[in-house]
Structure 1
Amino acid sequence: MRDKPLRNEAISELVLASSSPRRKELVAMLDLSLPVYILSTDTDETVEADWTPSEVVEKLSLRKANAALKLLQQKQEHESSLIIGADTIVVLDGEVLGKPVDDMEAMTMLGRLQGRSHQVYTGIACVLSSSGEAIISHRMTKVKMKALSSDQIARYVATGEPRDKAGAYGIQGLGSILVDEIDGCYFNVVGLPLSLLSDMLGTYDISVF
């Protein structure tokens, strides 16, 4: 982690800047004493060609959190919120694979991933609504996918599950049967590394237990 906040302050709520149902479920698993609110943002996810995978997820997670901050400021509901932004990408041979635009692209992505290892990066940004101060970090997990036939890939894509997933698969769903092994945090592949998030929350004196 880096960019530790200059001071801690009483935080009355967490704001998750995400529309992802998976991230909502993961935050709920922490059973925090603070209320957690969901605030979806329409964020520009364009990136520079020279950004590293870690830069991509850290910069986009911060962009999402800052977009939520602007919405809170417009509503004047930002006195003591901690905003959490997150972004997940799949990387194969140094190339970032985002969410497929259609089923054809999903099949192409899975065809490239099958039988090979790739990396999943998730960035997390925590932003104090009162000051805009932020801490940002990321995790990386290695994933090896099974060798798959074209027919298996087509049947999986036909379920619709790949459509909103980075890399065109969801390890927490039917996509779990496509994965041979992982090296690192499982929840990072789902979309929110809980161990990392709990450490970051601890910076603000928010304890999971």
Structure 2
Amino acid sequence: MKDFDVSIYLVTDRNLLKAGIDFYDAVEEALKNGVTMLQLREKDISSKEFYEIAVRLKDIAAKYSIPFIINDRIDIALSVDADGVHLGQEDLPCSIARKIMGDKKIIGISAGSVDEAVKAERDGADYIGAGAVFYTGTKKDIGEAIGLLNLEKIKKAVNIPVVAIGGIKYSNAQDVMKTGVDGISVVSEIMASDDIGFATRRLKDAISK
């Protein structure tokens, strides 16, 4: 098992930033204040721009010894030597991704059911992104919300870490963690905040309770 911590897993979305907040400054502020894992997920940009962003974010993540994960794009992950990739149900199968990435890289798989989670673990996934737990506007490609009960079932069905995804906020973070999951994945709760550092510290405090 690789050594990583999914307790506060930040997924990027530059479009959510408040006016005047620099993207790279925002990410670094989040890492300084408690984010334990970072995923680059930026839609509707060219491969060139995606690569250039990945290069810069990898350096920032390395500065804080935070694992750096690329969403979907195995080619980008390999080109910047990222720590791993996160794949959805419609992306390249986990077993094939493992052959390409090798044993040392982290592979996370999105799962919305126990069956999907169990298959992902069997195929070599290192962690499960379970959800969407609640409805969220930032992941329109995910179907209906699974809710806390199904989240708990997924956690109990696998032996690898499970991070809850979809609609996680400060107000519901403690309820999510009570299901036994290993962490929460957030986008807007940090990226759309007026104060990135405060938002991150507040989440860290919520899940530590």
* TM tier relative to shorter chain: under 0.3
TM-score, L = length of structure 1: 0.26
Instruction: Give the structure with the higher percent helix.
Output: 2
Bigger-Rg structure (1/2): 1
Instruction: Give the structure with the higher percent strand.
Output: 1
